[in-house]
Structure 1
Amino acid sequence: MDLPASYYGELDQKNPVIVCFKRDIRSFTAFMKQSSSQDNTSYAKGIQMLMEIWRKYNHRLPSSFYWEHMLQVADFLFGLKLYQLALWQGYGHHLLQFSTVMITDITDISHFMASFFPGGFNDDQATMNLKIRSMQGCALCIFEEEKKLHTLSQRGLNKLLLVLNFIRIMMQAFQKHKDLYNYIYDGSAHIYNICRYLMTMKCGAQALEYLLWASISLERSIALIGAKYLPLSVTLYCAVCHCYYDNHGGPQAEEFARRALRKIHEIAKREEQKKEPATKDIQRVFKEASVKASGLQIWKYLGS
């Protein structure tokens, strides 16, 4: 009978269950490093090894400990570009504990909360972090799986728009909770990366609303108003203007560029009001941001 790790005493590095668990993970990662992504036999064996780890240890270790390590495995698989394996045997597998609903099927905030946070954001911090990490991992796996095809079909576009919609819903759910601001930042960064790809595939019109949403979301989060987070805001401002110009929206682009410059100046004034003097790094951030925002209208002439 497989006894829980707690049976053997402290949950430390000497606990035999933890020792075996980490050994099996090392064996799996070593095997996958040596395997080719095109080798179906190795891929199938990798799935079997993961399922065996789940069967042997899921019920014997504390949930947060087990899933923290299994999501590290998912991150490892993501790094190997084994997105399907990372999705179904890592991030998605973790979310199945809470809901059978796919992230691309989420329709609104109520649906999101009912599926993943039925009791509100009252989970302990570790559980909360693992859930959100898995959601983000699922979104990125779906994105990378589509991206590696090098062509974007209508079906692929629709799937990516569903991913963008999910990230936006997730950010909406977090906006009223000041302590979750870092996930607003992460969501904005993910939206930018997906939308940048859509822009390269001539789908800037579809990307525009999400880029606008991401840029305004950063502005609305007080914790994200500062020099540290300004580079992402400016990058989003530039992407929004680029989308406008690509879709013959020159006047809207110019108006948005002026608005962006005002926002940058507002943040600069906030920094000036702080007691401590601005460091050279902060000064450089604002200088670069102002130069980028001032140069946004160049696209008007490039596109004419």
Structure 2
Amino acid sequence: MAPTAPRSAWPRVGAIVLLLTALLSLIMIAFAWPATRSSVHDIPIAVAGPPAATAQVAQQLQAKRPGAFDVTVVDGTAAAEKLILDRDVYGAIDVSSGRPQLIIATAASPAVAQALQQVAQALGGAEPAVPVRDLVPLPADDQRGAGLAAGALPLVLGGIAAAGILTTLVIGVARRIAGALAFSVTGALSLTAILQFWLGSIEGSYWLNAGAVALGIAATALTILGLESLLGAAGLGLGAASMMLLGNPLSGLSSAPEMLPSGWGTLGQYLPPGAAGSLLRSTAFFDGHAAAPHVWVLAGWVALGLVLAALAAVRTARRPAVVEPAAELVTV
């Protein structure tokens, strides 16, 4: 009678089921919680005009939407427009002419632009609709900004896939790093071409946009490669899970970092997906304004990945070599 194949114990099966349930719940929380809890809070906007009028508008905003806006008061339309173009604020309520008008930048965030229009109309009360001027609109081919918002996931997956495939198929830390850097360039050129020339979701300099995407892919891929070099498979899983379950849903690309639950939007901007998305928005629509902080964040992640890989290489070099015992000569 043939021997019975070994079977897993039932407690082990139960433990695995519970682990999978916890993992699925974590994925649901990571993706659904930021989306369902998005709201307008601490959105930077400007109010332009004479002191008496701007003070009245600021009071109305606080009364109607407490804590929703972080108001900067300026003395005229030009100053408000400069703040918008420099990405210091998302829009402005301009009362310089006596009657309110709203200045928005849909390219900065369609969700915030829509929220500002609703608030401005509420401020107008029973009067005719408040005029709206879009200072930085989205491209005509993608007026909802869907392509840029959806681009966050391929950017993350590209970095994760690069790290996973390179660690599986390429031997040698230096060669893996070289492969990740090369893929960051080629992948960015391809992804940016699709977004800009096919989908029409972004504008601006193709090369600057590709550079922003390349830096984002490199930050993700090299960080995961560095973790894998130092911690093995656990590092690979930790890096991939962090980028996918934290970085992607907290990137703020589909709404705005300020619309995510308090504190989480800020955290998302310090992770590669959020920093890369904000950097791409700056290069594509705002001539690179406010790009520097995001460049530094991504460069920091690239440097971290390289440092982790270097530490792993040093640790490997210090390990004593295993000496094979010399074969004994056997005489007949």
User: Which TM-score bucket, shorter chain as reference?
Assistant: under 0.3
More RCO (CA 8 Å, sep 6+)? 2
TM-score, length of structure 1 as denominator length: 0.25
TM-score, length of structure 2 as denominator length: 0.23
Higher Cα radius of gyration: 2
